[in-house]
Amino acid sequence: MTYPFVAVVPARHASTRLPGKPLADIAGKPMVVRVAERAAASGASHVLVATDHGEVAQAARRHGVEVCLTSPDCPSGTDRLAEVATRMGWPDDTVVVNVQGDEPLIDPELIRATATLLHERTGAAMATVCHPLLDLDEVMNPNLVKVVLDRDGHALYFSRAPIPWARDAWDGKERSLPAELPVYRHVGLYAYRVGFLKAYLGLPRPAIEAFESLEQLRALYHGYRIAVLTIDRPMPPGVDTPADLEMVRRLFAEY
């Protein structure tokens, strides 16, 4: 069954490792436009770029992409989407997918599947994505966020720490990754119901969110359920550094 949803591409001009990232050229178009094209290919009924920067807005509009200018003071991507949803006047039951502005290779089908999961999990306020981790170094890497799931595929907790902890396998210096350990990497693709986005703005920030620096923990802390789609393999690489950008440019050239 096909469900309706909208897609928003948040795009911040400021980036510590790659300033002006949304405007980086990829095969003749700014990266933010390439992401918006992937979002449009997902079947979203409405696609727009959310940005607080005039140059990013102009670049998107030149390529026919709708823009919503947002406050430069939004503390998180979720807050930025909440501002967009409020300004656009979308009904509370609208499903909105947050497509990160540095994912020009994202699979449109994955965007649609995340929206579909939220439509079908009526008790959830959000949906997101994960995939198995099969390398011990990645499991231990605090830059990779892990998620633990319940039996129905809802998130129990997100952490930068290795969770769940394999006590017997990791109690000494020599460690290995147990074959049956259900360890999953969280992928930052989100779908939300607009009603939740509006409520999110009024939720106090808990200590677990502040210390882990993971905004989705605010939802869990306040009792909201997050449905998680498990995929078999990692998503294509995003763009965080100049080296990432060159790799993505090569991949586009090959296509």
Q: Give the CB-side neighbour count of residue 5, counting CA atoms within 13 A.
A: 32
Domain residues of the chain, as ranges? 6-254
Mean pLDDT for all residues in the chain:
93
**Structure token digits, residue 17:** 């490792």
Map residue 13 onto helix, strand or coil. Answer: coil
Candidates 23, 29, 166, 8; CA nearest to 87 is 8
Q: Whole-angstrom Cα distance, residue 65 to residue 96?
A: 17
pLDDT in tens, 144-199: 999 999 999 999 999 999 999 999 899 877 788 998 999 999 999 999 999 999 99
Q: Is the pLDDT of residue 236 over 90?
A: no
Map residue 51 onto helix, strand or coil. Answer: strand
Environment class of 197 (CB within 10 Å of its CB; exposed 0-12, middle 13-18, buried 19+):
buried
Q: Is the pLDDT of residue 240 over 90?
A: no
For residue 164, say if its preceding peptide bond is cis, omega within 30 degrees of 0: yes
Q: Is the pLDDT of residue 215 over 70?
A: yes
Query: DSSP alpha helices (H): ranges in the chain?
Result: 31-41, 54-62, 77-88, 108-120, 136-140, 194-200, 207-212, 216-221, 242-254
Rounded to two decimals, the pTM is 0.93
What is the band of 77 on the pLDDT scale with cuts at 50, 70, 90? confident
CATH homologous superfamily for the domain 6-254: Spore Coat Polysaccharide Biosynthesis Protein SpsA; Chain A (3.90.550.10)
pLDDT in tens, 26-67: 999 999 999 999 999 999 999 999 998 999 999 999 999 999
Map residue 176 onto helix, strand or coil. Answer: coil
- Amino acid (1-letter code) at residue 169: A
Candidates 153, 98, 166, 161; CA nearest to 121 is 153
What is the band of 16 on the pLDDT scale with cuts at 50, 70, 90? low
Please spell the DSSP secondary structure of 197-246, one letter per residue: HHHHTTSPPPHHHHHHT-THHHHHHTT--EEEEE-SSPPPP---SHHHHH
